[in-house]
Structure 1
Amino acid sequence: MCDEAKLKVWARDAINRRQFGVLAGAAAVAACAPGESENEGALIEAPALDITERVVTFDTVDGTMDAFFVHPASGAHPGVIFWPDIASLREAKRNMARRLAGQGYSVLVLNPYYRDVAGEQFADFAAFIEADGFQKVSPWRDKLDADAIQRDAGAAVVWLDGQDAVDSERGIGTQGYCMGGPFTIWSSAAVPSRIKAAASFHGGGLVREEDDPKSPHNMLDEADATYLIAIARDDHEEAPDHKLLFAKAAGRAARPANVDVYEGDHGWTVPDSPAYAEAAAEQAYADLLKLYSENL
């Protein structure tokens, strides 16, 4: 899990802005030139579609949420609700959404902190660390319980279904990173009639108190989605029972779920994370595309 102790370790690793910039730039190149790799077994993507993007706002029960919306330039496509990690909206996340949109999805990257602040608060993870971001976002993050996220997910679905770029006859997907991982489970339980696929990447708190009805693993029977639960290897080492507990919960709820540990530490899928691991990130992305293509 992405906690304060882990962030302090990252800060001691002397990750500087230039290094982050190289990684974020690499993600943008990957989005523009899919499939160009000398690695055997590398992901081969379909040619990227032309895309268009804009900053949007929409009403929720709790206020006005701002978000980044990117989608193919023409046609209607499955919608995707994208929950970012603790550092929230920034270029690394926008690049990830652009890449997915180029594969035929209309992607809405939410600002989960909209109750307190609007727009980008940290340019990248280096800026998050330098600004003592964990302490800064803590009071904002404390408001993001299951009920709040479910209200937000409901509002996001309504907004997506009202867009010309979204095919409302097809299911909606949702994906989340770090703290956004459990948000995908709560989202799928909030709007089971629309959210048909959910992916958590190095998500923290998927299994909480075993008898907590709001623990994500206890809410699977309220959903109608297929799940990809991508666990970081260091998170698995800290809580080795969580993989099995989530898989058992999915079985009890009769929900299809691929629950697996990947060869990357917490944050490995995010290009501006100190833990970014390209090979493992590409595998996770390929698994995400498979999840969406089969269920949306």
Structure 2
Amino acid sequence: MCDNDIHQGLVEDWSVTRRMFMATGAAVGLAGAATAQAVANVTEKNVTIKTPDGSADAALFHPAGTGPWPAVLMWPDIMGLRPVFREMGRRLAAEGYVVLVPNPFYRNAVAPVIDGTFDFSNPESRKILFGYRAAMSDAAVDHDAAAYLGFLDAQPQVDKGRKAGVQGYCMGGPLSFRTAAVASARIGAVASFHGGGLTTDQPSSPHLLIPKTDAAYLVAVAQNDDAKEPESKTILRKTFDAAGKTATVEVYPADHGWCVPGSQAYNHDAAEKAWAALLAMYRTALA
């Protein structure tokens, strides 16, 4: 992970509230199938998940009722579990999924780990988050992913006869690739939105895990990330082809962070396009 893989600039309103989402649905991307009424009918609860390294706090969402529905693990970006990711989890649950959004930094702090506006141009501020991320070794991520999926499968609302999905934003992109590899028999779909560090020259590069997975992929690339690493999309496409995976790798006309409301880079039209592509993949791969 490097600075270029992380959201850039000032995050002006990271704590987007439920009331704001409900009141301005079209403006922030809640228009469409997940109507305000459907989102309001989602059940949400805070949960604690035992892992080899301790207890992870997380948020669990599912439609009102008994289900069962397919499970989805949603890895947040570098700022972790916070109100806006709760809204994203709630929105996805309204589409008919049981969604778990963990606090990836539970080893260091309970979510939300950032209080107020966050400026990524400040080295001292970045140092805090990078320290949290550094505590997540590849092995630790693998153990966490297995624990999260095990927790999901223990929920009575989850349809264990259907494949599960995993999606991630920013740093969550590589974590999603790792999840698909550690639980290849369980994960049927993987989505990465402005994921950083998907292809590196290290033996631990996430793209090298693709042959070990059994999933369809959606990789939505930010235009400024592509400008910095134009060869990355080609590496991904070649790797998917060689492994015989169903995959879409697309550069979006939006900058890093465009999918997360409240981010300075948030782009409503591009975010809605990515959301529609995600749902289309899940409806096919998790059927």
TM-score (norm 1): 0.86
1-structure distance, mates of 2:181, 2:84:
28
Q: Answer yes or no: is 1:291 the counterpart of 2:284.
A: no
Q: Answer yes or no: is 1:30 the counterpart of 2:25.
A: yes
Read off the aligned partner of 1:170 and give its amino acid letter.
R
Match of 1:150 among 142, 145, 148: 142
The equivalent of 1:66 in structure 2 is 57
The verdict on how the C-alpha distance between 1:35 and 1:183 changes in structure 2, with shifts beyond 3 A counting, is: closer
Unaligned segments of structure 2, at least 5 residues: none
Unaligned segments of structure 1, at least 5 residues: 37-43
Q: How does 1:95-106 map to 2 (within 5 A)?
A: 95-106=87-98
2:173/2:195 contact within 8 Å kept: yes
1-structure distance, mates of 2:215, 2:51:
23
The verdict on how the C-alpha distance between 1:193 and 1:5 changes in structure 2, with shifts beyond 3 A counting, is: closer
Q: Answer yes or no: is 1:231 the counterpart of 2:224.
A: no
2-structure distance, mates of 1:178, 1:284:
14
2:34/2:91 contact within 8 Å kept: no
Read off the aligned partner of 2:242 and give its amino acid letter.
R
2-structure distance, mates of 1:277, 1:266:
10
2:17/2:83 contact within 8 Å kept: no
The equivalent of 2:239 in structure 1 is 249
The equivalent of 2:3 in structure 1 is 3
The equivalent of 1:40 in structure 2 is none
Q: Answer yes or no: is 1:169 the counterpart of 2:161.
A: yes
- Helix, strand or coil for the counterpart of 1:93? helix
2:166/2:190 contact within 8 Å kept: yes
Read off the aligned partner of 1:134 and give its amino acid letter.
R
Read off the aligned partner of 2:57 and give its amino acid letter.
D
Q: How does 1:239-278 map to 2 (within 5 A)?
A: 239-278=229-268
Q: Could you tell me how far 1:10 is from its partner in structure 2?
A: 1.7
Note the aligned Cα RMSD (angstroms).
2.8
2:16/2:261 contact within 8 Å kept: no
- Helix, strand or coil for the counterpart of 2:9? helix
Q: Could you tell me how far 1:32 is from its partner in structure 2?
A: 12
2:142/2:182 contact within 8 Å kept: yes
1-structure distance, mates of 2:61, 2:213:
26
- Helix, strand or coil for the counterpart of 1:164? coil
1-structure distance, mates of 2:212, 2:34:
34
Q: Answer yes or no: is 1:222 the counterpart of 2:222.
A: no
1-structure distance, mates of 2:29, 2:263:
21
2-structure distance, mates of 1:238, 1:115:
32
The verdict on how the C-alpha distance between 1:154 and 1:32 changes in structure 2, with shifts beyond 3 A counting, is: farther
Read off the aligned partner of 2:55 and give its amino acid letter.
T
The verdict on how the C-alpha distance between 1:5 and 1:95 changes in structure 2, with shifts beyond 3 A counting, is: closer
1-structure distance, mates of 2:94, 2:254:
25
Read off the aligned partner of 2:217 and give its amino acid letter.
Y
TM-score (norm 2): 0.89
- Helix, strand or coil for the counterpart of 1:219? helix
- Helix, strand or coil for the counterpart of 1:108? strand
Q: Could you tell me how far 1:24 is from its partner in structure 2?
A: 8.9
2-structure distance, mates of 1:229, 1:16:
26
Read off the aligned partner of 1:107 and give its amino acid letter.
V
- Helix, strand or coil for the counterpart of 1:112? coil
2-structure distance, mates of 1:225, 1:119:
30
Q: How many residues align?
A: 281
The equivalent of 1:181 in structure 2 is 173
Read off the aligned partner of 2:157 and give its amino acid letter.
A
Read off the aligned partner of 2:174 and give its amino acid letter.
P
Identity of paired residues, percent? 40
The equivalent of 2:43 in structure 1 is 52
- Helix, strand or coil for the counterpart of 2:55? strand
Q: Could you tell me how far 1:144 is from its partner in structure 2?
A: 2.1
2-structure distance, mates of 1:279, 1:28:
18
